[in-house]
C-alpha cells in the first residue's frame, strides 16, 4: 500500500439552521463494508494513540469533535493530516503505520472499520512492519 492511497474523503453534509447532518453509507462513501465502529474519547492532553499497522483492516477515521493529528507511514513515505471536521474522513488502507497525537480537549476520534477486532491483524512493532512491507514489495517485484 502506498501513502497516496490514504485520502481525505468529503462526506455529504446537509446544512440546516437547526444543525448540520452528515451520513455515511458503506460501499458508497467508503469502499468497504463496515463491520465495526469504535471511538477514542476522554483522551488526556499529550497522549499518543496508534503506533501500529493493520494487516487487512481498512478504516475511515473522523474527528467527530475537536481535533488531532494523524501521521501515516507506508514504510518509505510519511504524511501528516490535521483532523478537525466532522464531515471529513481519512481513509486508511491496510499496511499503513499510524500515530495519532495532539488531541484537543474534548476531542472524539471515531473509526469505521472493515473488520471485527482481532489482535492478530496488528503489527505493533515497527521493525516487523517494515520487514513485512519489504517482503511484500520483493514478492511483487518478482512478478
Ligand atoms: C486504530 C486507532 C485509531 C478491543 O478489545 N476491541 C477493539 O475494537 C479495539 C479497537 C481495541 N480493543 C482493545 C485492544 C487493547 O487492549 O483495546 C485496547 C486498546 O487498543 P489499542 O491500543 O489498539 O488502541 P489505539 O487507540 O492505539 O488504536 C485503536 C485501534 O486499535 C486502531 O485500529 O486505528 O484506535
Catalytic: 52? yes
Q: In whole angstroms, give the CA distance from residue 20 to residue 87.
A: 10
Query: What average pLDDT values come out for the chain (143 residues) when binned by 10 residues?
Result: 94 97 94 97 97 98 98 97 98 98 98 98 98 90 75
Q: In whole angstroms, give the CA distance from residue 105 to residue 69.
A: 13
What pLDDT was estimated at residue 139? Answer: 84
Q: In whole angstroms, give the CA distance from residue 97 to residue 95.
A: 7
Q: Whose CA is nearest to atom 11 of ligand 1?
A: 117
What pLDDT was estimated at residue 32? Answer: 96
Q: Are 61 and 110 in contact (CB under 8 A)?
A: yes
What CATH number should be reported for the domain holding residue 78?
2.60.120.10
| Residue 53 CB–ligand 1 contact under 6 Å | no
What pLDDT was estimated at residue 106? Answer: 96
Q: In whole angstroms, give the CA distance from residue 78 to residue 90.
A: 15
Q: In whole angstroms, give the CA distance from residue 54 to residue 60.
A: 13
| Residue 50 CB–ligand 1 contact under 6 Å | yes
Q: Whose CA is nearest to atom 1 of ligand 1?
A: 50
What pLDDT was estimated at residue 71? Answer: 98
Record the pTM. Answer: 0.95
Q: Which helix (H) or strand (E) holds 1?
A: none
The x, y and z cell numbers of residue 40, run together, are 477514542
- Provide the domain count of the chain: 1
How many whole angstroms from 13 Cα to the centroid of ligand 1?
Answer: 28
| Residue 41 CB–ligand 1 contact under 6 Å | no
Residue of 77, 88, 109, 68 lying closest to 5 (CA atoms): 77
Q: Hey, which of 117, 118, 123, 126 would you mutate to test ligand 1's pocket, going by the most ligand atoms within 8 Å of its Cβ?
A: 117
Q: Given CA atoms 125, 128, 132, 133 in this order, what sign does their dihedral have?
A: positive
| Residue 66 CB–ligand 1 contact under 6 Å | no
Taking residue 23's Cβ as centre, other Cβ atoms within 10 Å add up to 11
Q: Given CA atoms 26, 27, 31, 35 in this order, what sign does their dihedral have?
A: positive
What pLDDT was estimated at residue 143? Answer: 67
- Domain containing residue 125: 3-141
| Position in ligand 1 atom list of the atom nearest CA 111 | 3
Amino acid at each position: 500500500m502506498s501513502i497516496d492511497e490514504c485520502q481525505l474523503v468529503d462526506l455529504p453534509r446537509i446544512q440546516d439552521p437547526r444543525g448540520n447532518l452528515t451520513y455515511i453509507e458503506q460501499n458508497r462513501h467508503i469502499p468497504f463494508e463496515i463491520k465495526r465502529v469504535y471511538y477514542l474519547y476522554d483522551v488526556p492532553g499529550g497522549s499518543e494513540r496508534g503506533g501500529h499497522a493493520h494487516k487487512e483492516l481498512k478504516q475511515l477515521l473522523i474527528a467527530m469533535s475537536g481535533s488531532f493529528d494523524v501521521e501515516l507511514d507506508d514504510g518509505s513515505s510519511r504524511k501528516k493530516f490535521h483532523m478537525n471536521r466532522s464531515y471529513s474522513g481519512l481513509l486508511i488502507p491496510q499496511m499503513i503505520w499510524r500515530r495519532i497525537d495532539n488531541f484537543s480537549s474534548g476531542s472524539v476520534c471515531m473509526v469505521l472499520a472493515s473488520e471485527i477486532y482481532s489482535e492478530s491483524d496488528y503489527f505493533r512493532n515497527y521493525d516487523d512492519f517494515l520487514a513485512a512491507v519489504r517482503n511484500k514489495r520483493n514478492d511483487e517485484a518478482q512478478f
